[in-house]
């Protein structure tokens, strides 16, 4: 008896591997930051504030490279530790969820078929997550760094966010493309269902 070959392999296997690696790295980073950072300093690299370097009693500031600062707080508060956790973990968590949605799309697509309304809906869900959640995650990461930098430089405010936020344009373009493709696939699946109903 011949076993039906999965048409979406090896892509499904690669995505499953990437999801596993990203999830393990995310959990490891969260654990290390939560446990290992207590009693030690926390450090952030910021893209703003290089025009004025000011050292505060519980922190040290120095250049990393042209246009960026490395801010280390030797005695961080609980709130600063939370911001550090957000800065480290949020992007990795968003990528883990992205790979999880993609893995679900591929696995269910292999079972239910590619040209179905359910597959089109999953593709659109992946598109919305890529378009909205990934940029919001990078925005949250940048906001965490700005809030910590405000401890070192009180003149720093949220207007500095535009300089700190590295907008993931790939996510915007990919998200819009996935939404458009999902809409096309849904229309195609509905037309196919109508044709099968008339035959």
**Cα–Cα nearest to 127, from 189, 66, 185:** 185
pLDDT category at 180 given cuts 50, 70, 90 is: very high
- Enumerate the β-bridge partners of residue 61: 71
What local confidence, expressed as pLDDT, does residue 168 receive? 92
pLDDT, greater one: 131 or 150? 131
What mean pLDDT is predicted for residues 50-66? 49
Write down the pLDDT at residue 52. 42
Domain boundaries, the chain: 11-39+77-198
**Residue 161 pLDDT exceeds 90:** no
Percent of the chain with pLDDT over 90: 17
Does position 27 have pLDDT exceeding 90, yes or no? no
Query: What pLDDT is attached to residue 32?
Result: 77
Helix, coil or strand: residue 175: helix
d(CA 161, CA 93) in angstroms, rounded, equals: 21
Which residues neighbour 94 within 8 Å (Cβ) at sequence distance 6 or greater?
133, 134, 137
Q: What are the backbone angles phi and psi of residue 147, rounded to the nearest 5°?
A: -65, -35
- The terminus-to-terminus CA distance of the chain in angstroms comes to 32
Residue 93 in contact with residue 25, Cβ under 8 Å?
no
Question: What is the pLDDT, as a whole number, of residue 57?
Answer: 45
pLDDT band at 25 (very low <50, low <70, confident <90, very high): confident
Mean pLDDT in residue range 138-160: 78
Q: For residues 86 and 147, is the Cβ–Cβ distance under 8 A?
A: no
Rounded to an integer, the average pLDDT of 39-60 is: 59
Query: How far is 161 from 138, CA to CA, in rounded Å?
Result: 11
Taking residues 152-180, what's their average pLDDT?
83
Per residue in 62-109, pLDDT (tens digit) is 544 556 677 777 777 888 888 888 888 888 889 889 988 988 888 888
């Amino acid at each position: 008896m011949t076993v039906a070959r999965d048409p979406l392999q090896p892509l499904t296997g690669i995505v499953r591997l990437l999801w596993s690696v990203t999830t393990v790295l995310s959990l490891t980073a969260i654990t290390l930051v939560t446990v290992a950072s207590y009693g030690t300093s926390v450090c952030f690299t910021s893209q703003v504030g290089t025009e004025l370097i000011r050292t505060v009693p519980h922190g040290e500031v120095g250049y990393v490279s042209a246009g960026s600062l490395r801010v280390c707080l030797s005695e961080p508060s609980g709130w600063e530790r939370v911001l550090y956790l957000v800065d480290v973990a949020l992007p990795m968590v968003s990528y883990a969820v992205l790979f999880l949605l993609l893995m679900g799309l591929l696995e269910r697509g292999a079972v239910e078929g590619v040209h179905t309304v359910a597959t089109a809906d999953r593709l659109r869900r992946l598109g919305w997550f890529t378009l909205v959640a990934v940029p919001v995650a990078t925005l949250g990461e940048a906001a965490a760094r700005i809030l910590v930098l405000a401890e070192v430089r009180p003149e720093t405010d949220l207007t500095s966010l535009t300089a700190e936020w590295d907008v993931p344009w790939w996510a915007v373009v990919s998200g819009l493309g996935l939404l458009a493709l999902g809409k096309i696939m849904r229309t195609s699946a509905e037309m196919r269902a109508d044709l099968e109903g008339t035959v």
